[in-house]
Amino acid sequence: MPAADLTRAALSAARVWLVGGGKMGGALLTGWLDHGVAPDNVTVIDPGLDQGPHGVRLAADPAAPLAEGPAPDVLLLAVKPQVMDSVLPAYRALGGGPTVVLSVAAGRLIAGFETAFGPGTPVVRSIPNTPAAVHRGMTVACANGHVTDTARATCEALLGAVGDIAWVTDEALIDAVTAVSGSGPAYVFWLTECMTQAGIDGGLPADLAARIARATVCGAGALMDASPEDPATLRRNVTSPNGTTAAALEVLMQESGGLGPLMSRAVAAATQRSQDLAG
């Protein structure tokens, strides 16, 4: 069976409880429904929601779905890291069985979920990013030893419904992933802000500067996505010798104070913060 058909089959059969229907949870839910998850196979547990997509069950707390069963194939935790500890005890009964605990919360270790749910619980820790809202996300995931191939395929299908997905076997790498892709959209947005301000400083009207900066960043991203060439080649393609782009890159590519070393320091700071949050 082709990979796309396997993905759709895994999605259509999956029973999912989504804990937290906020921005990330909502983006995931939309992606699932668009890719074939049956609405009546999904339960969204969030006291702040009073309506959802047609056919998706809503619950204010886990008591009702836990009492009625059956247990979900995947319990996806999409609540903020700082409230996770207050949420987990309600789902303790799902631990130690076939239900996969799938987290999208930053800074929460697999070991913490194993402790909360008990021995033998399958756990997947993942880090998606905000472009998941437009189905262009990047997610990296890590599974513990209790996750079967079938469960892994289901988690991959769920996460892949909103973009690209990669796996790592070393959980320690998730901190760097968080710093690059999890936080990365903010870097791109800030670059766009800086380009806008630079245009204003160069004499452009503010609305025009904002328009061309935004369009340029979006267009360059689309070109990079569509091109088989790597970013370095694409950069060289637009850089004429002794031209305007070369003049700008001489500033941006300085060995000590340029964008490269600055980005490395920024990612290192975000990585350290991720490690600090994980304890």
- Comparing 10-19, 141-150, 158-167, 269-278, the range with the smallest average pLDDT is 10-19
How many other C-beta atoms lie within 10 A of the C-beta of residue 139? 25
Segments of the chain assigned to CATH 1.10.3730.10 = 184-278
Confidence at 1, pLDDT banded by 50, 70, 90:
very low
Confidence at 3, pLDDT banded by 50, 70, 90:
very low
What is the average pLDDT value for the chain, to the nearest integer? 92
Contacts with 218 (C-beta within 8 Å, 6 or more apart), sequence order: none
**Are 124 and 141 a contacting pair, CB within 8 Å?**
yes
| pLDDT exceeds cutoff 80 at 52 | no
Q: Using alpha carbons, select from 225, 230, 127 the residue that is nearest to residue 177.
A: 127
Superfamily of chain region 184-278: ProC C-terminal domain-like (1.10.3730.10)
- Comparing 6-10, 157-161, 169-173, the range with the smallest average pLDDT is 6-10
Q: Using alpha carbons, select from 154, 156, 129, 132 the residue that is nearest to residue 142.
A: 156
Confidence at 2, pLDDT banded by 50, 70, 90:
very low
| pLDDT exceeds cutoff 60 at 5 | no
Segments of the chain assigned to CATH 3.40.50.720 = 3-177
- Taking residues 194-218, report their average pLDDT: 98
Find out whether 23 is annotated in a ligand binding site: no
Q: Using alpha carbons, select from 46, 26, 41 the residue that is nearest to residue 87.
A: 46
- Taking residues 252-263, report their average pLDDT: 92
pLDDT digits (tens, 9 = 90+) for 98-109: 999 999 998 899
CA distance 131 to 59: 27
**Are 121 and 40 a contacting pair, CB within 8 Å?**
no
Q: Using alpha carbons, select from 50, 34, 41 the residue that is nearest to residue 14.
A: 41
**Are 44 and 22 a contacting pair, CB within 8 Å?**
no
How many other C-beta atoms lie within 10 A of the C-beta of residue 113? 25
pLDDT of residue 10: 64
Q: Using alpha carbons, select from 115, 130, 232, 124 the residue that is nearest to residue 178.
A: 130
Contacts with 52 (C-beta within 8 Å, 6 or more apart), sequence order: 21, 29, 44, 58
| pLDDT exceeds cutoff 60 at 179 | yes
State the DSSP code for 57.
E
Tokens at residue 223, please? 């070109």
CATH 1.10.357.10 fits 3-177, yes or no: no
- Comparing 3-7, 113-117, 217-221, the range with the smallest average pLDDT is 3-7
Between strands 16-19 and 57-59, the pairing is: unpaired
